[in-house]
Amino acid sequence: MTEQVQPVPVVNEQVLQAEIARLNKIIQALMNRAERNTSMQGSDFNLFQTAITLEDQVRLRTRELEVARLNTEKITRDLRESENHYRLLVDNAPVSIHEIDLEGRVASMSRAGLLMRGVKEESEVLGSLYLDAVSDTDRERIAELLARSYAGETTYFEFKASGPYGKIFKSCFVPIKNKNGSVEKLMGITEDVSERKRAEEAITIANEFSRIVMDSIDDAISIIDVSDYRIIGCNAVFLKQIGLAKADVLGRKCYEVTHNQPDPCGLPFDICPMKETVTTGNHSKAEHLHSLANGDTFYTEVSTSPVFDRNGKVVSVVHVSRDITERKKTEEQIRELAFYDTLTHLANRRLLNDRLGQAMAASKRSGRYGAVMFLDLDNFKPLNDTHGHNIGDLLLVEVAHRISRCLREMDTVARFGGDEFVVLLSELDVDQELSVEQAGIVAERIRVMLAEPYLLTSREADNTEVVVEHHCTSSIGVVLFINHEASPEDVLKWADMAMYHAKGIGRNLVHFFKP
């Protein structure tokens, strides 16, 4: 257990000196009386003994009072030092610290408060009403809040100052109570928030300006936080593009919102170019295929730009996304016109030549044979002459479908022109005889399929349907190639010669070219 230390009483120095003087007078009186009665016995002697005892007690009490006096001096110095520290803190605080009395008048104010008021000396504000510094528009409201503080409540408020400069202050008032629990004054802390308010207003105006600009742009704009790929901003076009409300977009990860197809590296499309921008800090562009929740798909061209913090670190990226679905459709149409037959949608001569060159190069690498079949319909012209080109076109489309069903996905069928078709078989076998056998099986399958009857349905101008049954065979010439032994033009020429040979010896036949 620790020993309980009795507190040393704190006494006033004047009281201490008066007590010592009183005790000295008592001692002196007793000593004088003892000297006059030194011969006396009995009770007088006892009185003398009592005087001596009192003298000892006085000396002890004097020492106690001296200790108390020294302790009082130390406490006084500590209080004075504490008051100096407090005053130093108050005077150097960046906010105004002030007191107002029960009448609402300023009782004290720190240096910062004087600067806020535009005065130099505390005497210039002492005794003035605190509400005089409040603008007319805010005075009644602040008076009500101060009344609540006088009632014992801590209050917080902002107000506009009176005067031509229109400063804005933010204050907190705390009631100060006496030992009886009654509020005797209020202590306030006030901060000049004018610059901050102006900055906040400027940010608000800038944000509104940015919103107006973003919403007036035809492209979709989204802002992505690169720490977790969440959307932190977007414009109206972006919301319309993905078909979601703003509340359903902000805070969600970008690839969750657009349901993007993953790219080959396993990450959503939105992230891959973003990673490049974050890593390098450079602008990037990419095309995205988006698939929405309703099943619709669309293409966008996304321009990604980095946003840096003050340390040069990329903290977010801005996506400017342009819908290029129509452009992609146009490009596809141009590609179709350039490489595909408009009627049958089979490869045209240009694409056939490209595929044949690739197949011959692959044959050289693998050592496997390839084959080209040149095919011509045997009974096509009478159909056109009798029923018109519309029925003839229907026949050509059906022929294209039947040939395609006989081939592998890796093979190519092209419409060479009119009623002529070319089939390209690649990657047959390294053995020539086996390759001839494989090509012959495919050619025979095509010949049989094309010899089946055709039921061609046409709609007339009066919206009536006309069904024409037609029988048509084909003549097929086949040539094998390997290792670039001939040019693509020679291979096509030889297949054409074999086809004409089949047609010449009876039609509805398959004939292999023999040099």
Fold classification of 94-197 (topology level):
Beta-Lactamase (3.30.450)
For 144-173, what is each residue's pLDDT tens digit?
999 999 999 999 999 888 876 678 999 999
The pLDDT score that the predictor gives to residue 261 is 44
E strand or H helix that includes residue 111: helix 111-117
What does the pLDDT read at residue 12? 60
Structure confidence at residue 498 (pLDDT): 94
**Per-position DSSP letters for 257-286, written without gaps between them:** HHTPPB-TTSSBTTHHHHHHHHHH---EEE
| pLDDT at res. 6 | 43
Is the Cβ–Cβ distance between 457 and 467 less than 8 Å? yes
Quote the pLDDT of residue 433: 93
pLDDT surpasses 90 at 34: no
Q: Please state whether beta strands 474-481 and 314-323 pair in parallel, antiparallel, or not at all (unpaired).
A: unpaired
Q: Which amino acid is at 3?
A: E
333-391 tens-digit pLDDT: 777 777 888 899 999 998 999 999 999 988 888 899 999 999 999 888 888 888 888 88
Alpha-carbon span 159 to 137, nearest angstrom: 9
- Residue 165: CB atoms within 10 A of its CB come to 9
DSSP classification of residue 271: H
pLDDT range class, residue 84, cuts 50, 70, 90: low
pLDDT of the residue at 2: 37
Q: 290 burial class (0-12, 13-18, 19+ CB within 10 angstroms)? A: buried
> E-strand spans in 124-241?
155-160, 168-177, 183-192, 220-225, 230-234
Residue 301 pLDDT more than 90? no
Distance, in Å, from the CA atom of 473 to the CA atom of 509, rounded to the nearest integer, reads: 9
Residues of the chain by 3-state class (helix, strand, coil), percent to 5: 50, 25, 30
Dihedral over alpha carbons 171, 177, 183, 187 (to 10 degrees):
-20
pLDDT above 50: residue 270? no
Architecture of domain 217-323: 2-Layer Sandwich (3.30)
For 2-26, what is each residue's pLDDT tens digit?
334 344 454 566 766 777 777 777 7
Question: Would you place residue 252 in the very low, low, confident or very high pLDDT band (cuts 50, 70, 90)?
Answer: confident
313 has pLDDT over 60: yes
Q: Which fold has domain 340-512?
A: Alpha-Beta Plaits (3.30.70)
